[in-house]
Every structure is written in C-alpha cells, then in structure tokens.
Amino acid sequence: MSKETLKKAFEPQEAEKRIYDYWLKKNFFHAADESDKEPFSIVIPPPNVTGMLHMGHALNNTLQDIIIRFKRMQGFNALWMPGMDHAGIATQNVVEQELAKEGLTRHDLGREQFIARVWEWKEKYGGVIINQLKRLGCSCDWQRERFTMDEGLSQAVREVFVKLYEDGLIYQGDYIVNWCPRCHTAISDLEVEFVQEASCLWHIGYPMAEGKGEIIVATTRPETILGDTAVAVNPNDKRYKDKIGKFVYLPLLDKKIPIIADEYVSMDFGSGALKITPGCDPNDFVIGRKHNLEIITIMDGRGAINEKGGVYKGQDRYMARKNILADLEKRKYLIKTEPYTHNVGKCYRCKTDIEPMVSKQWFVKIQPLAKQAVKAVVEGKTKLVPKTWEATYFEWMNNIRDWCISRQLWWGHRIPVWYCDGCSEVIVSKTDPAKCPKCGGKSLKQDEDVLDTWFSSALWPFSTLGWPKKTKALKNFYPTSLLITGFDILFFWVARMMMMGL
Amino acid sequence: MKDVPFKDVYLHALVRDEKGEKMSKSTGNIIDPLVMIDKYGTDAFRFTLAAYTAQGRDVRMSPERIEGYKFFVNKIWNAAKLVLSNLEDYDEKKAFKAKDSLPEKWIKAKLNAAAEGVSLNLEEYRFNEAAAAIYRFVWHEFCDWYLELIKPALYGKTDEQQRCAAQRTMLDVFKIVLKLLHPFMPFVTEELWQVLKGKNEGSVMVSEFPKYEKEAKTTKAEKEMQLIMDIITCVRNIRGEMRIPPSRKLSVMVSVPDGNSRKIIESGKNYIINMANAEELSVDVNLKEPKGVATGVVNSAKVFVPLAGIVDISAEKMRLQKELAKAEKDLQQCSKKLANRDFREKASSAVIKKEEEKLNELKERYTALEGALSKLKEIQM
C-alpha cells in the first residue's frame, strides 16, 4: 500500500480541473462508433449558444451525467452526444443589441454581413456554457460536439424540409399567426405567454343600416373596429332572429357590414352579438373563412395602423385605441365602459403584446405526424417517465394545430425555396439551384424567411449522429436509449422530435 | 428515420427555492450554480441535485442544502483518511486468508443492499432514492458503525487475524463505496480512488460498477450483529436520556430468554464494552431484575444499567412513564390499523404480516416497560 497521506480536507477548486483534464487526456468520454460493448446513448438537450449555466441546466446535465457514468461503468459503450442550439431569436437579439451600441441596426449591415457578424459573435462569446458544463463534470463525448447551424445539421434540415414538402406535409398559406411587432416575426402558439391584465370592456353601438335601432358589441380591443367585416349572433338567439342577413353601419368608417349567424357565438356573453375581425383574431379568422368574409389587415409589421385605417393611418396601435375611443365617445357610439381583467398574449422573448396577424407563412401539416407519434407511445416504443405525463402528451397531440415553421429572422436555416423571376416557378431543393428547371431562367430569389429554431432541434437525435449519411454511429446509437429533459419543453421539443423521428 | 428517437424519456421538474417558489430575478431567489460550485465544490452540488430529484415533484434548492452535502464530502474524506492511516503495514497475502468477524460479515451484507439500492433506483430514474441508499450506507453503516466497531482490531487490541480481516474489508468496502458514489460525485471519488487503487487499476470512472446479489436473505451474522448493535444503542440511549456523560463508564447487565442469545451477546461482548463505554458486561438467562437499575428493552432481551451513585431515580421514573405513554400510543395506532377493514382489504399479505409482527413486538415492549416502571416504583418505596 502506498504511504501517501491525504490533505486535511478535499480542495475542489484545485482538484476538479486537474481531474477533468486527466479524464480528457485519457479520452474516457469518447464512445467508439463500433464496439463489442452494448451501446447506450443520450443526446444532450442542446443549450442555446447564448446560454449561461442556470439551475435548470445544472439539474438537467447532472442527471444525464449520473446516468451516463453509471452505464459506462456497467460496461456499456456509453455515448453522451453534446452540442448547442443556434437559438434564432435569442441570438439575433443579442447581436442586434451589440449593434445598437454602435448605433447600427441589422438593416444597416444587410443580411449577409449581419449573419457574418453573428458567426463572429458565436466564435468569440458563444459556447461559454460548454466550459460551464465541463465544470459540472459532464462526461460528454466532446469530439462529437455539434451545432444546429453546422454544415451537416444544415444539410439534414434541408433534407427533411424537401422530403416533407414532397410528401405534401409542408405548405404555404395565409394564416393568422402570432406576430411580435418588436421581434418582427411570427412566433408559434407555444411561444406566446399569457399574462392577466386589468383593462376595460368597451360596449359599442353599431347602428342598423336600415330602420332604427342598433346592435351592441363588446370588445377589449376597440382599435380592431377598423378591420371588422361582420357582426355575428347565435342563430337561436330570439333577440336577433329578424336581424340576421341585414346590415349595420361600422362606426367611424363609412361602411356597411352584414349580420351573420354562427353557433360559435355565446348568447350569454354581453349582448350576445360579436364583432368579427378576421384579420385581428384567430377565432374570428376561422369564422371569417367559414362565412367567406373579407380579411382585412389593418396594421403593418410594427403594429401601426396602415392605409386601411383611414384617418388613423400611421398611428401606433395603442395611440389608435385611445383616439378611436375618444371619437366613439364624441360621436355617442360608446355605450358603456366597464373594468375587465383578461389574458393578454405576450412574446416569450421580449414581453411585447402579440398582434394576431394574417400573413403568408410556411406550415407543417401536423396531424399525420402526430398520429404516428401517439402510436409510438401507446405501443410502448417510447416510454415517458413519470408515466403521468403520457396523458398530457396524448391530449396535446390529439388537439395539435399545424405548425408554423417560418420566422422573419435572418439568423437561422433559410427556407430552401426559390422563386423564379422569369416564370414564377417555386423551386424546393436540397442544394442551391443554379437555374430554373422549368424555364432555365437564372434569376432566382430565395425565400426571405428562416425556419423556426425548433425545426432543426427536432432532428437533433439523428442529425447529430450523421444523418442523412448512413454513418456507423447512426446505426449503432439510434434509436437513442434515453432523453432527459425538463417537462417544460415536452411539446416545444420532445413531441416534435417524436414526430420528426418517425 | 422510421423509428422512435428514444426508448425512454425522463422528464424532470423545475428547480425552485426551498419554499417552492419559482426562481426569478424579481423575487431575488436565483441560485447561481457556478457560485455554488465555487463555494461548496461540484460534488456536493451534484449530490444535492440528485438527492432532491424525486419523480413528479419540484426540485427545491437552497445554499444550506448544498452545504449540508459538503459535510458529506468531508465525511467521505475523513473516512478515507482513517482507512489510509490504518493500511501502512497492510499485507494483502496475509489478509487474504484472514477470517471475517461479525462486523465484516455485517458490513458486506449492508454493502450489498446499498449496491442494489443504487443500481435499481438508477435503472428506474429514481435519483433521490439512489442517492439516499448510498448516503445512508456511507454515513450511518460504514462510518458510524463499521469503522467504530473495528477500531480495537485496527489498533491491535485483538488478534492479528481480526486485524487483517478488518484492514482488508475496510479497504474493499471503501473502494466499492467510491464506485457507487462516482456517478454522483465524480471528482472526490476519483481523487481518493487514485490513492487507494490497486496496482493494475486505472480510473474509477472506467472501473466496473459493483454487482450485487439480488434480494439477498438476511444472514445469521447480520442478525447477530444487529442484536449486539441494538444493545449498544440501548445503553447509549439510557446514557443520553439519563444525561450520563459519555466518559463515565457503566456496568451493563443483559437478561436474555435463552442460551443462544446469551452466546451471541457474549461473543460480541467487546464491541459492547468498547462502543457503549462499559467497564463490565454480564449476560444471563432470565436474569432477575436487580434493584436501582435503568432498564432498556431490546426485542426479548432486557438491558439493565445500575444507577446507584450515577443518577437520580425519580427522573428515571419520569422517563419510563414517558416511554410507556409512547408505547401505548404506538400500540393503539397499530391495532387500530389492523382493525381497519380498508387496510385489510387493500394491503398485501406480507404487509399485514409485518404489521402483525409489529403489534406483537409493541405488546412485548409495553409489558416490559410497564414491568420496569413498577419495579422502579418498588425501588423508590
């Protein structure tokens, strides 16, 4: 036995770095592509490249490291695949803030230069969190470290996009999306945070176009009056039986709009009549489609009233609300104002009020994919622990809406769709096309939008292992053995990986 | 890919503060992991996270909790120091042949249970229970009991054989402890492993994880050791409750129901004398209770500690009355539970049997306490 003696107490500060370097030097964290040992694999939930280690990361990665060390010691060929997420909005915001200090906006730089600047930022500051994970003792296979924007993963993104498009599972359409007027992009339903706010419910009288009387509607957003294209009542509501099919005047605008009937309208709320603004509200959008109503977009991307708003044109949405209320009052259309607390949707990144807006966006048709993902859990191919989460998972998957995957950002995977200037052909391709396959024209424009960050992270379990190439790592380690993640991203991420994997 | 991306998905909860509040800048209750690592070390930090990660519950953190596990790191370090300081003349060949004494047999059985607890719970992602299994073993079974039990052997107060067996077992068990702890506390375990490892061993992180015997039956040695330990605890309790200083040597008498128990206790006589700080110990079958003693009950044995010149008898009377009241309450609870139809219908037969055994034990205890109290009354009269 050695005669070594121990110090009075363990000194973590000194020992941890030395020991970690020893492990690295011995290459203990590396799992071979091929091995006689049984494989065991975990992919890391990729932290944002902008991330700084917080308690959530610490917990998540400690648990992963416990399991991977346990399995490694049990004799498995244990792989813990590390990497980072490019984090579209978050990263773009950080770099924009940096630019702002120099008095610049991204538009001053232009797209290409701005992206170069983001990469520069990434090389310099990105990945602080990787070193923080090392301090936590994480035994990731660092030789395999990936980034959602690296070449291989970008190729995987294009591959999947094209495949889904060809299978008819990606489409472009007019849709009402959650628009953040500050970030200047559409964000997904999941990225909207609802906050209870005290506001008012304003009751406004819409005069009948013919004869006497009026219909009173109640709204929390009087400025949207500018986009009203109907008033809806319940077909069983006796109060309005003789008014269905007739018209009312839209206050402040010299315009007649119809009174329509729809079961959706609740007879108990307010007067039982609902103003319908298909361009400003997701529920109204659905009713508008059903009744073939005109869809009017009344704001621009910054949330200011556009030319459809008459005299209110150019006013910011809150300013317009104030002025419209004043005018309604002046002209005696405002019947009643009552205090009212309701949920307001906010951008989860910058807390700006979300503006539902209709625009052209790319979508993934999700139902067929969701069905598969539900089946896999029902059949026990994937097990959720604790099992109680399964019910929540099914509930969500069965009520899922199409996934809006386009974002009006610059930092991210640009949508692999090109438009031919010559013949307007739409080209969806894995590689950048040199000319139009239809007319041979060489003037092609790529779609301006990028993909939702979660699109690339949804491919993480197989893209990091080398897919679409048929690598040995992929063959050996996929399906991965275990995912450890917080329940808060079950839908953002886990559910989407399930859908993309299948 | 046409295949699921993962076989298991473990969903953990969010980290909150110790009151269960969400951590946020505005509340000012954010804990910065890097500050915690700097202050308490990564191992203590990681172990705390594991210890508080129970399925379906929030993970509640506070710096105090992390500090608590820093003490655990110290405990491990000090145990290693003790192990190391007693290995200077360790002769592996000689030790190989040495026969295990009771404490060796006992600690190996407990180690097997701990290895099972860690492995099974990690397989099922019950991190808190895995952490608790190894924590309990290291702190209570290995440090508090085993290392204390073998001190006389280590210090050469017994024969060479016992000393060798103690050295060997202490080293082997501690190395397995390091392996079991490694996934939770990678750094301190590696540091100690490098000092204690054998010639052909490398890093603990690539060593083989301890195997265990599944659902091992309780051995005879375990039961015997347990009885001896219970008697030590009993004397210590009497000492504590009667406020007798630890340095004061006591004489201890044990009354047992049969010759077998007597043999067991006599074989463990030295352990009791050392760990209960007794100056003498006598064991007899159905010993008649002497006058002026404090009485403790261990299963069917009785422990007597003469108090003359040591303690005030009237305080002892109060103690027994308190114990009796507690025993009565436990007894009522237990019989009420067994009388409950709902319990009878829903519980498994094993659980019911266990409860019935508990009831019998409680009855015995109650009778014994009652007797002791009346004896005490007699003394006073």
| Domain boundary assignment for chain A | 12-161+456-501, 166-188+356-451, 190-353
**Does pLDDT of A49 surpass 60?**
yes
| Structure confidence at residue A157 (pLDDT) | 95
Q: Are residues B193 and B339 in the same domain?
A: no
Q: Are residues B251 and B280 in the same domain?
A: yes
Nearest chain A alpha carbon to B1: A501
Q: Are residues B80 and B47 in the same domain?
A: yes
> Cα–Cα distance between B189 and B180 in angstroms, integer?
9
Residue B9 located in a structural domain: no
> Cα–Cα distance between B17 and B66 in angstroms, integer?
12
Give the SS3 label for residue B298: strand
**Which one is predicted more confidently, A138 or A489?**
A138
pTM: 0.81
Omega before B257 cis (within 30°)? no
Residue B262 located in a structural domain: yes
For residue B35, the tally of other CB atoms under 10 A from its CB is 12
**Does pLDDT of A287 surpass 60?**
yes
With a CB cutoff of 8 Å and minimum separation 6, the contacts of A441 are A420, A421, A422, A423, A435
Judge whether A269 and A236 are in contact, CB under 8 Å.
no
Helix, strand, coil % in chain A, rounded to nearest 5:
40, 25, 35
E strand intervals along chain B: 6-12, 15-17, 59-61, 250-256, 278-285, 293-298, 301-306
Mean pLDDT lowest among A309-318, A337-346, B225-234, B312-321: B312-321
**Which one is predicted more confidently, A119 or B315?**
A119
Residue B226 located in a structural domain: yes
| Structure confidence at residue A1 (pLDDT) | 42
Domain count, chain B: 3
Mean pLDDT lowest among A305-309, A479-483, B62-66, B156-160: B156-160
The CATH architecture one would assign to domain A12-161+456-501 is 3-Layer(aba) Sandwich (3.40)
Per-residue pLDDT, averaged over A389-413, amounts to: 89
pLDDT in tens, B113-172: 999 999 999 999 999 999 999 999 999 999 999 999 999 999 888 888 889 999 999 999
> Cα–Cα distance between B20 and B36 in angstroms, integer?
19
Mean pLDDT lowest among A72-76, B310-314, B377-381: B377-381
With a CB cutoff of 8 Å and minimum separation 6, the contacts of A125 are none
Residue B212 located in a structural domain: no
> Which helix H or strand E contains A390, and what residues bound it?
helix A389-398
Residue B16's DSSP bridge partners are: B22, B60
For residue B313, the tally of other CB atoms under 10 A from its CB is 14
Q: What is the CATH number of the domain that holds B250?
A: 3.30.2320
For chain B positions 275-304, those within 8 Å of chain A (CB to CB) are none
**Does pLDDT of A2 surpass 70?**
no
Interchain contact, A10 vs B77, CB within 8 Å:
yes
**Does pLDDT of A202 surpass 90?**
yes
Provide the token pair at B188: 């301190």
pLDDT in tens, A418-458: 999 889 899 999 999 999 998 988 899 999 899 999 999 99
Residue A173's DSSP bridge partners are: A361
Residue B97 located in a structural domain: yes
For residue B62, which residues of chain A lie inside 8 Å, CB to CB? Answer: none
Q: What is the CATH number of the domain that holds B356?
A: 1.10.287
Interchain contact, A66 vs B184, CB within 8 Å:
yes
**Does pLDDT of A7 surpass 90?**
no
Interchain contact, B73 vs A132, CB within 8 Å:
no
Q: Are residues B302 and B317 in the same domain?
A: no
Q: Are residues B255 and B361 in the same domain?
A: no
**Does pLDDT of A5 surpass 80?**
no
Q: Are residues B297 and B322 in the same domain?
A: no
> Cα–Cα distance between A497 and B12 in angstroms, integer?
18
Interchain contact, A479 vs B4, CB within 8 Å:
yes
Q: Are residues B339 and B362 in the same domain?
A: yes
For chain B positions 44-83, those within 8 Å of chain A (CB to CB) are 45-46, 49-50, 53, 55-56, 59, 61, 73-74, 77, 80-81
Count of CB pairs separated by less than 8 Å, A with B: 222
Interchain contact, B45 vs A58, CB within 8 Å:
yes
**Which one is predicted more confidently, B320 or A168?**
A168
pLDDT in tens, A266-281: 988 888 999 999 999 9
Judge whether A250 and A201 are in contact, CB under 8 Å.
no
* ipTM higher than the 0.85 cut: no
Using the 3D structure, point to which of B206, B239, B273 is the last residue of a domain: B206
Highest average pLDDT, of A139-143, A345-349, B19-23, comes from A139-143
| Structure confidence at residue B381 (pLDDT) | 38
**Does pLDDT of A3 surpass 60?**
no
Name the average pLDDT for chain A: 91
| Structure confidence at residue B376 (pLDDT) | 65
Q: Are residues B106 and B163 in the same domain?
A: yes
Q: Are residues B89 and B27 in the same domain?
A: yes
For chain B positions 205-264, those within 8 Å of chain A (CB to CB) are 205-209
Name the average pLDDT for chain B: 90
Provide the token pair at A38: 């049984």
Residue B1 located in a structural domain: no
> Cα–Cα distance between A145 and A129 in angstroms, integer?
13
Per-residue pLDDT, averaged over B9-27, amounts to: 87
Tell me how long chain A is.
Answer: 502
Question: How far are the Cα atoms of A52, A109, A155, A397 from residue A103, in angstroms, in the given order?
Answer: 26, 11, 35, 45
Using the 3D structure, point to which of B253, B284, B311 is the last residue of a domain: B311
The CATH topology of domain A190-353 is: Isoleucyl-tRNA Synthetase; domain 2 (3.90.740)
pLDDT in tens, B338-352: 888 888 888 888 788
Per-residue pLDDT, averaged over A345-371, amounts to: 90
Provide the token pair at A475: 């063959």
Q: Is B33 on the interface with A (CB under 8 A)?
A: yes
**Does pLDDT of A78 surpass 80?**
yes
Per-residue pLDDT, averaged over A200-214, amounts to: 91
Q: Are residues B51 and B72 in the same domain?
A: yes
**Does pLDDT of B318 surpass 60?**
yes
Q: Are residues B23 and B151 in the same domain?
A: yes
The CATH architecture one would assign to domain A166-188+356-451 is Beta Complex (2.170)
pLDDT in tens, A228-240: 999 999 999 999 9
Per-residue pLDDT, averaged over A100-108, amounts to: 88
**Does pLDDT of B378 surpass 80?**
no
Per-residue pLDDT, averaged over B323-333, amounts to: 92
What amino acid is encoded at B351 in this protein? V
Q: Are residues B306 and B324 in the same domain?
A: no
For residue A485, which residues of chain B lie inside 8 Å, CB to CB? Answer: 9-12
Query: Which domain covers residue B279, as residue numbers?
Result: 219-311
Q: What is the CATH number of the domain that holds B95?
A: 1.10.730.10
